Amino acid sequence: MRVPAVTIYGLNKRQILKTDEFGPKSVINNTYYTNTDQFADIPFMYPLTFTSIQNSSKLRTLFSYKLPCIYSGIPMIDPKQMGRLIKTGAFTRPSGEVIQIMDKFQDSITGMEKEALKIISSRAKMHPDRTIQELLQEIEPIYRVDLRKTQTPIFNELFELSKQLPDSEQLKFNLLMLETNKKLSKKPVRIPFSSYEFKYKLAKIKDDIIQTNDLKSKKVMNKLMKESKRLANTTDKNTLSHQKDVMGMMEWVLRKSVLKNNTQLKELIHTSQARLSNNEIIVPFSRKSFLYDLIRVIDNIPDEQLKNKMIKTAYQLPTSSQNLSAYILKITHEPSEKICARLLWPSLASVEHLLPRSCGGADIMANFAGATTRENSMRKSIEFTEQLKLRPQTPKYCQQYVDRLIELYKQGVFDKNKINPKYIIDFKNTIYNLSNKTVDLDISELYKSSKFKQTLNLDNHKNISKTLAVGPAAYFLSGVSDFTAGV
């Protein structure tokens, strides 16, 4: 299950429906589109809001001991460790020093992040005194050309299809492609200001800053967030002047604060002021924004077949999760510390609700496990039995997870942090029941520990470790709550 609680406004016509061969469907104005998760962070969305998970502090303590993810087996990175690195400015140092730090996480970084890190590492050997951002900016033109080679045939196909559009929609499409071409060529364009987009980006920056645990920085961000609430949701002749005043106040607050040199905040406010003044600015091409704008352009055309064909064609544009050049271009414009944070984020440890909250899962240790943020986000609220089909190696990695827990218990880590070792039994039982009794983890090594035998009251344990019901209401019996008391 996705750990953060997400609140999104502005796209209330979009609903996630069942999947088909093209992926998840959505509906806008009664028209079906695919892969709506692609729109997770496009403009016009309200900020994500994060809520802490109660009773998970003990499990979070174990994250510093490289627990394997229960879905991928990847040794997870402790979020607190990354927070300390960001706070001390470790990622803003010369790339030669940064790569030495990143090398410690080699076993945890996978996928496109691993490929990007290889490129950065090779460049750092040649130019160890330059920052990570400087290294990427040097090679950005090479990957831009490579990406354009992949994008061009797709855009050409869209252009040919657009000839079948009604005149009014064809004009809108041509204007969209003109704007898109400018973005791809890094030429300035005029982009209307969006209050939703601004608040969303400001909230993302706040999330990054919160990880540094710097009290003064947090206070500044809270002040900026409070000020941003004064921005009207729409920009017109009646609200424009007030929005400019609010943005001016935010600039003043930033200039007088400890965050006055924060590149992201300065750029966001400066860009927003330019957009409010209808000035041209350089905006990177975004696949998600393009898909969103394309759907808006062709939403009302009567030819459903043409509409779906154009959308299906547009979805062939390479994503940063599939194409290395797209990934490099996505991170190049960001500051060095955020580039490094992006490389590490998918492998950060997070608290996974084995039975999702939305299905009645409780905030107790018996329902907690460790999963990487990537796997956690991908699972969302999928039933565990379905997750086993999507991730068939899950039983193997759950066994690795429980083996590591037992190992840590024997090393005294549980005693040191006052963690009840019965959590290991709870985890086994939860997995067993949620898998419809198909995954029976081996925890025999735990019972071989003389220390555990002394701790465990076997007679009481028989009464407490009742079989867990799978239903939302009956899942956690009162006995289980007692079982994990003190954990």
Q: DSSP readout, 150-173? A: HHHHHHHHHHHHHTTS-HHHHHHH
- pLDDT band for position 482 (50/70/90)? very low
Q: What percent of the chain has pLDDT over 90?
A: 72
8 A C-beta contact, residue 210 and residue 218: yes
Average pLDDT of every residue of the chain: 84
Judge whether residue 12 has pLDDT over 50.
no
According to the model, what pLDDT value does residue 243 have?
96
According to the model, what pLDDT value does residue 480 have?
40
Judge whether residue 461 has pLDDT over 70.
no
Distance, in Å, from the CA atom of 134 to the CA atom of 113, rounded to the nearest integer, reads 18
Distance, in Å, from the CA atom of 406 to the CA atom of 424, rounded to the nearest integer, reads 7
According to the model, what pLDDT value does residue 392 have?
97
Judge whether residue 120 has pLDDT over 50.
yes
Judge whether residue 331 has pLDDT over 60.
yes
According to the model, what pLDDT value does residue 226 have?
95
Judge whether residue 45 has pLDDT over 50.
no
191-236 per-position pLDDT tens digit: 899 999 999 999 988 987 876 667 899 999 999 999 999 999 999 9
According to the model, what pLDDT value does residue 223 have?
95
Q: DSSP readout, 22-47? A: TEEEEEETTEEEE-GGGGTT-TT-PP
Mean pLDDT of 13-30: 33
Judge whether residue 481 has pLDDT over 60.
no
In the beta sheet, which residues pair with residue 371?
Answer: 350
According to the model, what pLDDT value does residue 210 have?
78
According to the model, what pLDDT value does residue 209 have?
81
Distance, in Å, from the CA atom of 217 to the CA atom of 455, rounded to the nearest integer, reads 45
Q: Name the strand (E) or helix (H) holding 20.
A: strand 16-20
- pLDDT band for position 119 (50/70/90)? very high
8 A C-beta contact, residue 80 and residue 63: yes
Give the burial class of 261: count Cβ atoms within 10 A of its Cβ; 0-12 exposed, 13-18 middle, 19 or more buried.
Answer: exposed
255-305 per-position pLDDT tens digit: 999 999 888 899 999 999 999 999 999 888 999 999 999 999 999 999 999
Mean pLDDT of 318-331: 95
Q: Enter the tokens of residue 409.
A: 């218990």
Higher pLDDT, residue 33 or 244: 244
| pTM given for the model | 0.75
8 A C-beta contact, residue 64 and residue 78: yes
Q: Name the strand (E) or helix (H) holding 372.
A: strand 368-372
According to the model, what pLDDT value does residue 207 have?
83
